[in-house]
Structure 1
Amino acid sequence: MHIRPRRNRKSPAVRSLVQETSLSASDFIYPLFLHDKEVDEQIESMPGCVRWSLTGLIKEAGEAYALGVPAVVLFPAIDESLKTSDAAECHNDAGLVPRAVRALKDAYPGLCVITDVALDPYNSDGHDGLVEKDANGELEIVNDETVAVLCEQALCHARAGVDIVSPSDMMDGRVAAIRDALDASGFEKVSILSYSAKYASAYYGPFRGALESAPKAGDKKTYQMDPANIREAIREIELDEAEGADMIMVKPAGPYLDVIAKVSDHTTLPVAAYQVSGEYLMIKAASKDGWVNEKAIALESLMGIKRAGASMILTYYAKLAAEWLKDA
């Protein structure tokens, strides 16, 4: 027998030499929840995750950064009293997110700070866009009016010093509009990481619990993508690339590895993938009861996402995975 593939697996040293995919802390973007309170609160729907005060946020981001995690993305839990049908709080320069961006950049100038651009945390209707009633009295998430507000939100974050804005709304044409707005205001260096293929997924449930941002009526299927479709993802990515996106994203990650692979073969842009709250919670729940090894399963799941073609991974395991990889 001349060909014995096991020779390439015979020792840790040899396996290291022939390993095709590597995983490191520099691959991770750490999603962080924040609120406008003085205390940090554990999130019941996402064990191990916290709604951070600004003080806690700075500390947590700094610890992750020290472990080699290069970027954080911010998700605000907005007080109900500030939620309105026009989502005006989203572009308040004195609001929670701009204050957090300024504080993070003051504390860690080299940390890459990313902000979510969408209206659901600020919208009293709980949707990513503005809601109106059509001629039949049915709810409609209006596109162009929403895009105008998203531009104001992106500009607000840019004025605060953000590195990357990340529109997650899935409105048509928003990447081009945001790029034009940023450039016209002198923020041509602010990057756009677009949620290009964001699916209408059941895996988002724990996240919506964390932010209390679920839609009050209806669902998000008129703007988020059908989980059955993959060619549509390519169409969305081509549009975002043409409109000026610097990076594109597939969300969720684990159940959509085929989409990540197809997208990464199709585009020359860096591809991000979001290991979402439902993916995270399933690992947490199974490991809590001892059915799986949390460290082994979490790292294997992240390796699978990277192997599928992701250049960067948004994961709630970012800090913990960085610690595990450091000790490996």
Structure 2
Amino acid sequence: MKQFQYTRPSTQQMALDAISKPGAKIIAGGTNLVDLMKRGVTAPDKLVDINHLPLKNITPTHTGLHIGSLALNSVVSENELVLQKFPLLSMALKAGASPQLRNMATVGGNMMQRTRCTYFYDTTMPCNKREPGTGCGAMEGFNRMHAIFGTSNQCIAVNPSDMCVGLAALDAVVIIAGRKGERRIPFTEFHRLPEDHPEIDNHLAKDELIIGVEIPDNNFAKNSYYLKVRDRQSYAFALVSVAAALDIDNGVIKKARLAMGGVAHKPWRLFDAEKWLIGKPISEENFKQAAQMAMAGAKGYEYNSFKLNLAPATINEALKHAAGLV
């Protein structure tokens, strides 16, 4: 591992000044960054430890819930307000990692974690995400875990987060601080598709800091479900996951939210399927139709084409659980 400098700023402004310097990276829980450094995938000149910043709060607002970027995944998943008002987020977090990792990982760090594509981690293999212009080893390689939506000829990696799928489905907003002030961005727009620059995962600028996320109030608490399909029940990344949330009145769907993980370079929101479900009675037939609609534009590769069948089946199952049909 390359030698690096270490600093622990005590104020947000000091942190912003520190991360604006070339070669600096933020560290909080370190559950992903340290692994990347050990493997030689990244080699920062300076680590900026932000754990002393006051960003661990989980507080209600007039319109929803604010969660600080340094709140631990374990704390958020067991928070009373989260369990009461946004149980979908708790389910996604608990599906996402081992208890030990959840007790170290932060909300902001979870949002910033990088793909677990084996070609990205193997520095002997070509990877446009790790080293732009070298090619995509997964494209013609073993791509069982890879994307079926939003791919490009540069990259077919997937975003590994479960928490982010839940937040995308809940219409969360990311709050970002920079040296020129704060800005807010819808969660569904925070992460990027690979396009011609797969090395760029999201829309956070180099000199900016995630300070929190806000989830607006909704009526999904009674009818939410997070379903994760993986190779083993213990700690493993998703082959396909679905966050489903329904607002139901007398058996009719008033609102719907659907997002998928394990299928794209970002949490994949199913907007068209959501709109189609509005006004429909809850039934497996309607859920199957919505699931098939959600697959528009999907493209399988040699080893992951099974996801073209697994994904709609998972959507249907998650909707049935959310609606209380199973």
Bucket of the pairwise TM-score, normalised by the shorter protein = under 0.3
Greater relative contact order, per chain length (Cα 8 Å cut-off, separation 6+): 1
Larger fraction in helix: 1
Q: How does the TM-score come out when normalised to structure 2?
A: 0.24
Q: How does the TM-score come out when normalised to structure 1?
A: 0.24
